[in-house]
């Protein structure tokens, strides 16, 4: 039987995400087909929606639900950490140490083809921690110091990466091929400068917008991974090891101002503290489905203990031209 989501089905709370509770025993695929329009409206209104009681148990079920939402899957490229692909657009969570949090970011915001919609499905909940935090990107932008955001709007931000076979995603994992010509074509087509290293590694640099306008309402959003991929967000012992091992210019990833100037530790701490002030968390329960507007809403992951298994689906390919970026895309 088809189901719709009415305002009466939704818990009204002063903070996101909105919560939808599915009646016990409902078929996830059938429910998703009937609830599609209501889910779209709820995500548009709240920026994120938690569906509780759906009973998702495996990646195949997540893929089936994604298929009912009538959205185009996103093929991930330029991943920063390895992950397993289950089906088009459906992946495992990024490989990241469970004892280290992943701070706020917008998925693939450093690419020219990022997902507009994210789905997170909890197949098994952790013993402690592991919540996916959410923060309103427009509110974060408004809360940051104006002189800082104006600089980033004017210059954008620069991401540098050093690919190797020891830490982070390899070239093959990031670009979907080990063919150098194909990698170079991808880089040229996506405004990424590159240089092959003597040992076979690859270093890249790309400049991206830090602030974009949401395509639905034009609201300006702090949309980037400036803090998450910066060296000062790393745990001190991890940063010290990586600098000793690879040198300050050989870190797996790092971020700078758009003009190439280093971003100070104080600025990274400020960005992360503003994110924290605007973060909403709700513990996972097995079977949960979380839908997130990737432009309007940043997300994070707490450190955790126990067998946390959260599947990620990416959909609705979106390019910077749709979001009216504030700078010209391309390397410096």
Q: At 41, which CATH number?
A: 3.60.130.10
- 160 with 217, same domain: the answer is yes
Same domain for 261 and 299, yes or no, is no
Whether 158 and 269 share a structural domain = yes
In the prediction, which pLDDT does 294 show? 97
Residues 28 and 131 placed together within one structural domain of the fold: yes
Q: Of 110, 41, 79, 85, which Cα lies nearest the Cα of 293?
A: 41
Please report the pLDDT score of residue 121 as a whole number. 94
Q: Using CA atoms of 115, 330, 84, 166 in order, give the dihedral in degrees to the nearest 10.
A: -150
Residues 172, 130 within the same domain: no
- The confidence score (pLDDT) of residue 328 equals 52
pLDDT the model gives residue 324: 73
Same domain, 235 and 143: yes
**Number of C-beta neighbours around residue 43 at 10 A:** 19
Query: Can you give the residue range of the structural domain that contains 242?
Result: 139-273
- CA separation, residue 325 to residues 41, 119, 157, 210, 223 (Å): 25, 24, 12, 8, 10
* 8 Å CB contact between 125 and 284: yes
Residue where one domain finishes, among candidates 273, 289, 308: 273
Whether 185 is in a domain gets the answer yes
**pLDDT at position 189, please?**
95
Confidence at residue 6, expressed as pLDDT on a 0 to 100 scale:
41
Does the residue 264 lie in any domain? yes
Report which DSSP code applies to 299: E
Closest CA to 56 of 127, 2, 120: 120
Task: Please list, residue by residue across 131-152, b when 16 or more beta carbons sit within 10 angstroms of its beta carbon and e when fewer do.
Answer: bbbbbbbbebbebbeeeebebb
Is residue 325 one of the residues assigned to a domain?
A: no
Find out whether 228 and 103 touch, Cβ atoms under 8 Å. yes
Last residue of a domain, one of 219, 242, 273: 273
Q: For residue 327, what pLDDT is reported?
A: 66
Q: What is the pTM of this model?
A: 0.91
Given this model, what pLDDT does residue 249 score? 87
Q: What is the pLDDT of residue 16?
A: 66
Summarised one tens digit per residue, pLDDT across range 179-197 is: 999 999 999 999 999 999 9
Same domain, 147 and 175: yes
Q: How confident is the model at residue 166, as a pLDDT?
A: 77
Is 105 contained in some domain?
Answer: no
Q: Are residues 255 and 131 in the same domain?
A: no
220: how many CB neighbours lie within 10 A of its CB? 18
pLDDT at 322: 82
Q: Is 205 exposed, middle or buried (0-12, 13-18, 19+ CB in 10 A)?
A: middle
Position 326 scores a pLDDT of 61
Q: What residues contact residue 295 under an 8 Å CB cut-off, 6+ apart?
A: 106, 116, 137, 212, 214, 215, 221, 223, 318, 323
Residues 153 and 216 in one domain: yes
Which residues of the chain fall below pLDDT 70? Answer: 1-16, 326-332
Instruction: Retrieve residue 211's tokens.
Output: 């602030």
Residue 174 lies in a domain: yes
pLDDT of residue 136: 96
DSSP letters for 159-197: EEEEE-SSSS--HHHHHS---HHHHHHHHHHTT-EEEE-
Query: Does residue 323 belong to any structural domain of this protein?
Result: no
Domain total of the chain: 2
**DSSP code of residue 40:** H
Q: Are residues 291 and 188 in the same domain?
A: no
Residue 12 has a pLDDT of: 36
Co-location of 166 and 200 in the same domain? yes
| Domain shared by 230 and 130, yes or no | no
Task: Evaluate whether residue 108 is within a structural domain.
Answer: no
Confirm whether 200 is domain-assigned.
yes
152 with 256: CB under 8 angstroms?
Answer: no
């Amino acid at each position: 039987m088809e189901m719709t989501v009415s305002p009466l089905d939704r818990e009204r709370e002063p903070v996101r995400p909105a919560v939808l509770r599915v009646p016990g025993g409902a078929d996830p695929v059938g429910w998703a087909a009937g609830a599609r329009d209501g889910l779209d409206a709820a995500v548009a209104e709240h920026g994120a929606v938690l569906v509780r009681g759906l009973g998702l148990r495996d990646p195949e079920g997540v893929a089936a639900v994604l298929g009912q939402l009538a959205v185009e899957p996103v093929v991930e490229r330029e991943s920063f950490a390895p992950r397993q692909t289950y089906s088009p657009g459906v992946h495992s969570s990024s490989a990241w140490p469970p004892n280290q949090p992943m701070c706020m970011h917008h998925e693939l915001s450093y690419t020219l083809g990022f997902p507009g919609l994210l789905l997170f499905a909890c197949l098994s909940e952790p013993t402690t921690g592991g919540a996916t935090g959410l923060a309103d990107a427009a509110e974060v932008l408004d809360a940051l110091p104006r002189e800082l955001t104006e600089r980033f709007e004017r210059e954008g931000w620069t991401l540098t990466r050093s690919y190797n076979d020891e830490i982070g995603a390899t070239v093959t994992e990031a670009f979907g091929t080990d063919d150098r010509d194909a990698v170079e074509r991808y880089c040229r087509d996506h405004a990424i400068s590159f240089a092959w290293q003597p040992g076979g590694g690859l270093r890249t640099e790309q400049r991206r917008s830090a602030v974009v306008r949401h395509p639905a309402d034009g609201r300006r959003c702090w949309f980037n991974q400036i803090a998450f991929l910066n060296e000062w967000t790393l745990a001190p012992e991890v940063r010290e090891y990586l600098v000793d091992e690879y040198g300050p210019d050989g870190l797996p990833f790092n971020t700078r101002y758009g003009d190439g100037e280093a971003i100070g530790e104080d600025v990274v701490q400020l960005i992360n503290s503003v994110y924290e002030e605007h973060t909403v968390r709700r513990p996972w329960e097995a079977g949960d489905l979380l839908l997130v507007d990737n432009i309007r809403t940043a997300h994070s992951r707490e450190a955790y203990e126990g067998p946390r298994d959260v599947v990620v689906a990416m959909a609705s390919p979106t390019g910077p031209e749709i979001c009216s970026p504030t700078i010209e895309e391309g390397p410096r």
